[in-house]
Chains A and B, each alone.
Chain A
Amino acid sequence: MPLDEKAVLAVVGLARLEPPERPESDSAAADPVAAMVSEFAKIVDYMAILNEAETEGVEPMYSPMIEPQPPRPDEPRRDAGKADDILGQAPERVGRYFSVPRIF
């Protein structure tokens, strides 16, 4: 069953995005939300092709590395020292802090 509008809008929210704005006219053809929903559902629908693959007992492959690298020694590095540079990229800051709107 293809994804419906409610399911797709839930994904938009989880992705921390906003859906396109609905125009005021009631013409369904021009509804950008409906267009996004149908396009997204079509892509997800295509992915169902994987159901045709036989994967019983197959270990998932999350990395293509054929020779996993040994971890490096757990030694702290003191050469970072870039706090001011990094804070300098902040769109808004207060002193040595990133600034955000209130949370509640």
Chain B
Amino acid sequence: MSELFRLTLAEAAAGLAAKKFTSVELTASSLARIKATEPRVGACLAVLEERAMGEAAAADKSGPDPARPLRGLPVTVKDVFCLKGAPTTAGSRILENYRPVFEATVVARLREAGAVVVAKTNCDEFAMGSSTEFSAFKTTRNPRDLSRVPGGSSGGAAASVVSLQAAAALGTDTGGSIRQPAALCGCLGLKPTYGRVSRYGIVAYGSSFDQAGPLARSSADLGLILSAVAGPDGLDSTASDHPLDDYANAVPADLKKLTLGLPEELWSADFDGGVARRLDEARKLLTGAGVRLRPVSLPNLRFSVAVYYILAAAEASTNLARYDGVRYGYRAGGDPELLSLYRNSRTQAMGEEVRRRIMLGTFVLSSGYYDAYFRKAAQVRRLIAEDYRRALEGCDFLLAPVSSIPAWPFGAFAADPLTVYQLDMMTLPLNIVGAPGLALPAGLTPGGLPVGLQLMGRHFDELGLLSAAGAMERVLPSPGDPPALG
């Protein structure tokens, strides 16, 4: 029973049900793996050892329960999810000592389903970033190449799954923050439809974009997690009562009946050579397996970076106005009056990228610029949504790359925020439209770095995505285990 941490969620659940091992053994294995790999990977901001072992013991005691399909299974959650009694920093100094008094609905549901939260994972501050380099607390390294970033903002989540610290992780995706780190580290990630999953208790970034979802090493595991967390919530009016599907039992699709649209604007990007080669091979493997691929167009896609950064920054500037040094979080010392207390608390405890986005959001919402930027971006958002709907006509899903480049070395874009924003172009359309998407591995570059593909679907068709991915993951090359980390 020495390497239980290698099991997928579904395998571990089956093993527990068959009494091959206990949750205490499984959870101890996960915690030992965290201890062994953390010095190199740095995926976690808090490891909840004592609490997790207590929950595992309770799970063993309670025994099997069909209402608790995740009973005794270790998972990690991104540090933007409020977990009662545990630190919740969102990667920011301003929340360094914050202890939430309530719990995110998705975390509560995971725990009600029996999952054991073993760690809270690192992320870019307030989920704003594409490399996890903007965390105020630590550096997370890509498990497949420790000299490179894991992607972001859910970089800790992806690194925890790929370094086998836990079989599954909960992340959030506002502009690609689940799919991009999944692709750059070499695992799967699902961004559900906006409204499929409650946002209550998630530290807010862009409220019309944010959505929580799972990262894992198989599509079946994504389905298990989604099935536990999806559905309406009296505490979030945007959590939809649209009928749920049986995500935990998605049947692999018949690839010969699948038609995928290839958005020309995404496939004609300027790709890294190794990435381009993998993408070409992936397309050949899929057509060889009977998938029909047809070109489609998203003509307004070139506006997506501007649309996203204007609207998400506007929402961020509003959401982050709550950090004022008065009610919770960091407070600057020695201020004689209120306005300077606000300014100093926020400036001292928020990082440069967060301040930049607050400024951008403040600017586009300010008098005289509102119509030219904020309203205009919301209009173009609708054009992109209409393009998306049209592109899906005659296709089951769209298929696109996740990133034009593989994981990059630390600091490669430190002096150039606009270039990093533009790297998000491939993941932004889904968040702009509110549709669901699933990233899955498509092999490694000659340099050994993962390359990812993403399926994009119709609103609330998570089951379709899981079915298609279930068939595609059998055809596409697996990235395999990362190099020795322990």
Contacts and interface: CB of A to CB of B under 8 A. Distances in A.
Given A58-B383, A61-B379, A61-B385, A44 B240 contact: no
A27 interface: no
Interface residues of A, number: 47
B418 A61 contact: no
B335 interface: yes
21 contacts: A8-B359, A11-B362, A15-B358, A17-B346, A18-B343, A18-B344, A40-B356, A46-B305, A46-B306, A47-B373, A47-B377, A49-B306, A53-B303, A55-B383, A61-B378, A61-B379, A69-B237, A86-B327, A86-B328, A91-B328, A101-B341
Nearest to B99: A89
Contact of B434 (A42, A43, A64, A91): A64
A68 to B, nearest CB: 9
Contact of A50 (B303, B418, B434): B303
Contacts of A66: 434, 459
Interface residues of B, number: 76
Contacts of A62: 208, 378
A65 interface: yes
B271 interface: no
A9 B362 CA distance: 12
A1 to B, nearest CB: 13
A101 B432 CA distance: 41
Contacts of A103: 337-338
B234 A90 contact: no
Interface string A78-95: 000010011011111000
Contacts of B300: 53
A79 to B, nearest CB: 11
A46 B304 CA distance: 12
Contacts of A102: 336-338
Contacts of A55: 376, 379-380, 383
Interface of A: 8, 11-12, 14-18, 39-40, 42-44, 46-47, 49-53, 55, 58-67, 69, 71-72, 82, 85-86, 88-92, 98, 100-103
B2 to A, nearest CB: 42
Interface string B169-208: 0000000000000000000000000110000000000001
Interface string B217-257: 00000000000000010100111111000000000000000
B433 interface: yes
A15 B378 contact: no
Contacts of B309: 43, 47
Contacts of B359: 8, 11-12, 15, 17, 40
Contact of A60 (B98, B362, B381, B431): B381
Interface string B369-401: 000010111111111010000000000000000
B329 interface: yes
Contact of B363 (A16, A44, A61, A86): A44
A47 B380 CA distance: 12
A76 to B, nearest CB: 13
B412 interface: no
B434 A65 contact: yes
B310 to A, nearest CB: 6
Nearest to B458: A66
Contacts of A40: 356, 359-360
Contacts of A52: 303
Given A11-B359, A61-B378, A101-B337, A49 B303 contact: yes
Interface string B98-112: 110110000000000
A101 B342 CA distance: 10
